Structure 1
């Protein structure tokens, strides 16, 4: 693998540290008890890092999102795993989606979700926006908040499955317990490269990246986990147009329809 590509991530790490260091330090000085709450510190870091990267990542992903989301998101509830700033709301057709449900455990991002979703008409006041402050692994809390199992018509993940705990188990629970029969799973994720030389560098950088990006791993074959689930009536996976093979954030998108019991 090209040496320059292998170390391209260094600049991103540096920018992330610069964006998060001072505001995180200020937060620690104001509330020293955070020193014994490392998960909260990581969420503070991620909130500031995401403020730096969110718009650029969305711009880069726009062609894929425009192909994936508007035509395939539909139903009473569209649930977005790891919503971040809620930019998926901007790709939804309000005439096809009754309620945009966001799953975002980092409450520091919730104000931005409200602002972004409102740009496309999804608000809490009108009952068209629901923000759930849970991690993806909290399946029982999620189903309870939705009024029961199999309450979601379309399940969406955009660069989120890289960071959920126990990913294979959590994915299985989402599909079995949250997504309704006949419902659709849509994803766009950076995944483990099939090229062993690229995969070695992904594994090399993951221990660094995981702490800066609140659990984000570069070495998960997420698309294969989804593809191999025995839950689908149909499905397809495709790549980002013109993406080089030598890429630490090798991406795959997919659409899968759950079997209708």
Structure 2
């Protein structure tokens, strides 16, 4: 990631985070229980919302993003350890976590299929796997617009892809999807699933 992106991320996201995103994050994260793995914790936006977890292990490949999240880390209500690691190669044993959370990160992971495989590997059978992601829209007009914009958007926004079919990837990875909620014309999806092994 470029050095400018971590500095602008929170500022750019503030309008969305102050409205609907805060409600969604609160609902998803506060329900996360047991030993929790967070994929791509960024600047720690989720950290204040953890309530039921006994321990949170957060991975973030960009140390500059983690650095900007230190204040939120210090104010967290539960123990949180941040590791510098990639989602495609998780440094944890099989069947370790009770819950896995990924929010607004699957747009940037270089190999999302490998990341999903790793998430399943390190989570226990029946573990809850929860996502909040922006995706390619079903509308022919909007979806095609995302496809056209994606090459430039990816360069400007540090690898963020506008048009990933994340829900399909999750289903194909063997995660049993139990609930999907959409907002902003299905641009964003809140997805709950189970790791069926």
Residue 108 of structure 2 corresponds to: 163
Identify if the C-alpha distance between structure 1 residues 103 and 133 changes in structure 2 by more than 3 Å, giving closer, same or farther.
same
Residue 17 of structure 1 corresponds to: none
Q: Is it true that 1:244 corresponds to 2:185 in the alignment?
A: yes
Matches within 5 A, 1:189-200: 189-200=133-144
Aligned-pair CA distance for 1:163: 0.6
Deviations 1:47-85 (A, max 9, x none): 1221422433422301222332212x000x211111111
Find the aligned partners of 1:231 and 1:200 in 2 and give their Cα distance. Answer: 27
Aligned partner of 1:235 among 153, 178, 190: 178
Residue 49 of structure 1 corresponds to: 8
Find the aligned partners of 2:77 and 2:181 in 1 and give their Cα distance. Answer: 30
Q: Is it true that 1:64 corresponds to 2:5 in the alignment?
A: no
Larger relative helix fraction? 1
Structure 2 residues not aligned, in runs of 5+: none
Find the aligned partners of 1:54 and 1:99 in 2 and give their Cα distance. Answer: 27
Structure 1 residues not aligned, in runs of 5+: 1-41, 123-127
Residue 70 of structure 2 corresponds to: 114
Please tell me whether the aligned partners of residues 48 and 77 of structure 2 are also in contact (alpha carbons under 8 angstroms). no
| Matched positions, count | 196
Residue 132 of structure 2 corresponds to: 188
Please tell me whether the aligned partners of residues 162 and 220 of structure 1 are also in contact (alpha carbons under 8 angstroms). yes
Aligned-pair CA distance for 1:109: 1.9
Aligned-pair CA distance for 1:228: 3.6
Find the aligned partners of 1:85 and 1:154 in 2 and give their Cα distance. Answer: 20
Please tell me whether the aligned partners of residues 50 and 77 of structure 2 are also in contact (alpha carbons under 8 angstroms). no
What is the CA RMSD across the aligned residues, in angstroms? 1.8
Please tell me whether the aligned partners of residues 184 and 255 of structure 1 are also in contact (alpha carbons under 8 angstroms). yes
Find the aligned partners of 1:51 and 1:253 in 2 and give their Cα distance. Answer: 20
Instruction: Please identify the structure whose Cα radius of gyration is greater.
Output: 1
Aligned-pair CA distance for 1:218: 0.5
Larger relative strand fraction? 2
Aligned-pair CA distance for 1:171: 1.0
TM-score (norm 2): 0.90
TM-score (norm 1): 0.69
Find the aligned partners of 1:52 and 1:65 in 2 and give their Cα distance. Answer: 17
Q: Is it true that 1:255 corresponds to 2:196 in the alignment?
A: no
Identify if the C-alpha distance between structure 1 residues 113 and 167 changes in structure 2 by more than 3 Å, giving closer, same or farther.
same
Q: Is it true that 1:131 corresponds to 2:82 in the alignment?
A: yes
